[in-house]
Structure 1
Amino acid sequence: MRPAEIIVGIDASPESRIALRWAADEATRRGRKLRVVHGVHSRWPDSAFSPEHAQFAAQRHAPEILAGARADLAQWAPDIETDLTTEFGGAAAALVAAAQPGDLVVVGNRGHSTFAALLAGSTCQQVALHAPASVVVVRGRTNGAGGIVVGFDGSPMAGEVLTTAFDMAEARGCPLTVLRAFRPSTPAWPAESPPPDLLNAMTAKLELQVELAESVVPMSEKYPTVTAEVHVVGGDPADLLVEASRTAGLVVVGSRGHGGFTGLLLGSVGLHLMHHSRCPVLIARPAS
């Protein structure tokens, strides 16, 4: 298996250039090779152009797009190893095929050509769902200001997500906030009656806070330079993460989960975050 790489999808859009810059910065921090993939379709559905014409146009513009990316990288990250290629067959398929566990795949939040309607369309979702590696959707504020926020749900995947978040925080030298959503169910007793201690929402929240703090201890010992805070917050998990993204530099979530983050990337919570986060979002997957 080759060493882990940073893989970024590009097209001719300004948003693609922002994603490329984000990926170049990450490759520099990590000392990793940067693989730049210009994925194009050989034809476009509902296009007035024939497949042959579309493929010719894509081939004609591909060298120009790669040359622009190469010039940007020479300015932004002249010391990193890079590999720039054009792949036919579709942007999502090209990025998924290029990735392996341990890589980090980076996509922008808008674009045209084969990256049209990222977030609104299928490319970003396909990469997020099917890539065998962690995926970053670059959107919102990308100046690097703010710490990292990670969504924790207590699922079997949660430990891997925490590891990814601590690792990213250590590389950036920034603080980490571990957030767990808490949504108490409607009480089964009359409002005027005192709730049973066992079902007391405040008690349950405090227990989750203790559990969360204990879960973070091993990571804090492994990453002693990372300042981490833990918070159990009442509310809708999607709204909480979007609100946290207003001041964060990166939001980290798992690709699967339960509890406060049920259905992430499979239903409304994940889609809401990918549409409305105010900063880049990292969808964490195990490195093996």
Structure 2
Amino acid sequence: MRKHILVGIDETPESQVALHWAVGAAQGRGLPVRVIRAFLNELQRWPGTALEGYVPPEVPRKKFQRQLDEAVEYARDRLGYDGASGWLAQEDPATAILTEAPAAELVVLGSRSPNKLSAAFLGSVATAVAAKAPCPVVVVRHPRRTGSIVVGVDGSELSEDALAFAFEEAERTGQPVKAVHCWQPAEEAGAPATRQLREVWLADSLAPYEEKYPAVRARAYVVGDRPSVVLTDMSASASLVVVGSRGRGGVAGLLLGSVSQSLLHHAQSPVAIVRGGAG
């Protein structure tokens, strides 16, 4: 079965940004787009309101269908008629997206711009999907732009998947890669020697990808600071930040790593959460 780019939409401007980003990603990959507009009526969301004499407000299904149709039409105008399909799902948005995620190559979601409120709380849909989807998830809040693809590297298998994703995206988009390894020196006296060893290790880690993707320009950075701080700062000029995630589905999968969580709240560029094996 042919893979596709899966994108969730609603009535917010951020979901339109996500739709545009998803269509651009589909064009670069030669894949179709699958659009989901999910909703719950009030009784489904709050069963306790089903009291005698209570009449819930009518669900504006026609409005939701119109939003879906407009999104699918936008994608078809750019990808062809067979390049887009849609599903009006009467269920929780995160559940609907996760139901279709196994058939997707990539899931794209919108997120509100960072401010004092959204920095403290990210929508449950983006959090749940990023933690549990079996494929990479990109959370966007700004239109697509040029700039380096920043990828966090820590030597784990997960960061290898993130590196593979970053180099593949860089080859498609023509953007350079910035591979970043962060550490916090335990003893300042030994820091210079330790940094040099880490720089050699990072260069060796990048070598196979530079050989596989010779057209991609790549630079390595070893920074003595917390990954969440460094990657967030670098996101200001990046087109994408890529990190691995240890989410595993079920209850455990509801929790993302601290770096992933911080980036979803604070990054100024789209963030790609890459699960193990996704590369």
TM-score (norm 2): 0.85
Matched, 1:287 2:268: no
> 1:207: how far off?
0.6
Q: Which runs of 5+ in 2 are unaligned?
A: 248-254
Per-residue CA distance 1:11-56 (angstroms, 9 max, x = gap): 11111111000000000110001110112123334997999845x4
One of 228, 231, 246 as aligned partner of 2:221: 231
Aligned to 1:108: 110
Residues 260 and 273, structure 2, Cα contact 8 Å, conserved in 1: no
Aligned to 2:204: 214
Aligned to 1:136: 138
Q: Which runs of 5+ in 1 are unaligned?
A: 112-116, 188-194, 258-264
Identify which range, 101-110 or 243-252, moves more after superposition: 101-110
C-alpha distance 223-101 of structure 1, shift in aligned 2 (>3 A): farther
Q: Where in structure 2 are the equivalents of 1:1-288 lying within 5 Å?
A: 2-43=1-42, 44-45=45-46, 53=56, 56-78=58-80, 81-100=83-102, 103-110=105-112, 120-140=122-142, 142-186=143-187, 195=189, 200-256=190-246, 266-285=256-275, 286-287=277-278
Per-residue CA distance 1:238-277 (angstroms, 9 max, x = gap): 11001110111000100139xxxxxxx6354322211111
SS in 1 for 2:89: strand
Letter of the aligned partner of 2:67 in structure 1? I
CA distance in 1, matches of 2:233, 2:40: 36
Moved over 6 A (4+): 46-52
Residues 149 and 166, structure 2, Cα contact 8 Å, conserved in 1: yes
CA distance in 2, matches of 1:220, 1:53: 59
CA distance in 2, matches of 1:25, 1:16: 14
C-alpha distance 5-203 of structure 1, shift in aligned 2 (>3 A): same
CA distance in 2, matches of 1:92, 1:108: 13
SS in 2 for 1:278: coil
CA distance in 2, matches of 1:52, 1:59: 17
TM-score (norm 1): 0.83
CA distance in 2, matches of 1:59, 1:287: 35
SS in 1 for 2:102: coil
* Number of aligned residue pairs: 262
Residues 14 and 111, structure 2, Cα contact 8 Å, conserved in 1: yes
CA distance in 1, matches of 2:69, 2:49: 28
Letter of the aligned partner of 1:215 in structure 2? S
RMSD over aligned CA atoms reads: 2.6
Question: Higher helix proportion, which one?
Answer: 2
CA distance in 1, matches of 2:129, 2:166: 20
CA distance in 2, matches of 1:52, 1:32: 44
